[in-house]
Structure 1
């Protein structure tokens, strides 16, 4: 028997060690689907911003990809494949060629904070974890004082006032303590992208309150008129054209059946008109009975 001088066992061990170093002992990602990015990552953003969560998968084959989230409110299925299952219109699945199963969230709120899971339907499931952390907006219009300082999700959409009532809007500017205070106190208010002139109309005033980590500016428009309807925005000149989604609020000054919920009106509200209508009906009925 002739010896070749080559150890087959030794060669096999060397190749196995090399593969283990490169691929890991499980070989996951070569014979089954896996993710192309790091797991357990954090995404930081501000209230009101938009975010896209990537989920890049290779070797998907006949498997499917789904998004789930776990927040303080509980767990929820968001997407499966190209279909969106959540009833929240701000959230949608946006698959991008060739292998990115993206999740898109617009107008992010504090309630969106939590753990987002991109899951491949292997057995057991292969899961990519992304933690979403939502910070306060740098500039935002606050809720009405009767509802507290924090803005409700719907507060920035529309506010209604009756003619003759007082419009009061409050805006918070969150600052860095190392930055000079004077930069943050130069707050400007505009309506429909035009600066509000505080000198030519005595019924309009702006007050500023300095707190520990924020400055609160209050805009007051007394005896509101129909022409005061518009989109009001607070801004800082030194930030230029930077967009702050929570810094604007639509205001409507209307005289009609819509019940104004802010301020006190000198005109009839919806409840007043209902009462008057009932009284007229009672008078007419009484008159008909007497006749």
Structure 2
């Protein structure tokens, strides 16, 4: 009788353990998860542009997505669900169907650079970190020989060739403005113009 009780208890313990394991696996299987393969990303935006921080959450269910700004030990709530909680009107949530909880930051400033977190209200919260880098274009004027110049003298009647090199531009520009004093130079002139 003792042996059969022992084997019954052993069978019961193994069955219960398998049940808990299966239940935990099913519960884990139903939790929200981030679409990205890593739990962090880094983006670069140009100073003064609009930055978009993407957070794609699959299988959200009844959980809520929020964006926070992390500055050292301080955490500032920016959005909760579809609502914006920042006093700074440049911040807003721009949900993109079906699963992108996109944080939009207009007119980016240098102080916007830093760490942001997209959080899902699981227990404990699931976190996707985004590092935002802000860059300003660097402009350099060079002459026909490739030398950087800020001032150069030419003889009257001579041909002038100046080149403008621009670096640290995350978004490609198709139109660059040249000015001479207060006048904008034309792209199509008989004297040469801009290429």
TM-score range, shorter chain: 0.5 to 0.7
What SS is found at the alignment partner of 2:76?
Answer: strand
How far off its partner does 1:33 sit? Answer: 0.6
Cα contact 1:43–1:130 (8 A) shared by 2: yes
How far off its partner does 1:75 sit? Answer: 2.8
CA deviation profile, 1:88-129 (whole Å, cap 9, x unmatched): 111100112111111011111110000110000000000000
Rate the CA distance shift 1:30–1:109 in 2: closer, same or farther, 3 A: same
Partner of 1:183: 163
Rate the CA distance shift 1:36–1:117 in 2: closer, same or farther, 3 A: same
How far off its partner does 1:81 sit? Answer: 0.3
How far off its partner does 1:64 sit? Answer: 0.2
Whether 1:95 aligns to 2:95 is yes
Higher relative contact order (CA 8 A, sep 6+): 2
Backbone CA RMSD of aligned residues: 3.3
Equivalences for 1:6-17 in 2 at 5 Å? none
Cα contact 1:78–1:84 (8 A) shared by 2: yes
Partner of 2:54: 54
Aligned pair count? 136
CA deviation profile, 1:213-249 (whole Å, cap 9, x unmatched): xxxxxxxxxxxxxxxxxxxxxxxx55xxxxxxxxxxx
For 1:28 and 1:92, how far apart are their aligned partners in 2? 32
Rate the CA distance shift 1:73–1:187 in 2: closer, same or farther, 3 A: farther
For 2:125 and 2:181, how far apart are their aligned partners in 1? 52
Structure 1: gaps of 5 or more residues: 1-25, 139-172, 197-236, 239-291
Partner of 1:195: 184
For 1:91 and 1:188, how far apart are their aligned partners in 2? 34
Partner of 1:210: none
Tell me the TM-score normalised to structure 1 length: 0.41
Partner of 1:35: 34
Partner of 1:80: 80
For 1:28 and 1:128, how far apart are their aligned partners in 2? 21
Equivalences for 1:1-291 in 2 at 5 Å? 30-37=29-36, 38-71=38-71, 74-138=74-138, 173=139, 180=146, 181=148, 182-184=162-164, 188-189=179-180, 195=184
CA deviation profile, 1:114-151 (whole Å, cap 9, x unmatched): 0110000000000000100111234xxxxxxxxxxxxx
What SS is found at the alignment partner of 1:131?
Answer: strand
For 1:29 and 1:56, how far apart are their aligned partners in 2? 18
Cα contact 2:178–2:184 (8 A) shared by 1: no
Cα contact 2:53–2:102 (8 A) shared by 1: yes
How far off its partner does 1:188 sit? Answer: 1.8
For 2:127 and 2:43, how far apart are their aligned partners in 1? 17
Tell me the TM-score normalised to structure 2 length: 0.59
Rate the CA distance shift 1:79–1:42 in 2: closer, same or farther, 3 A: same
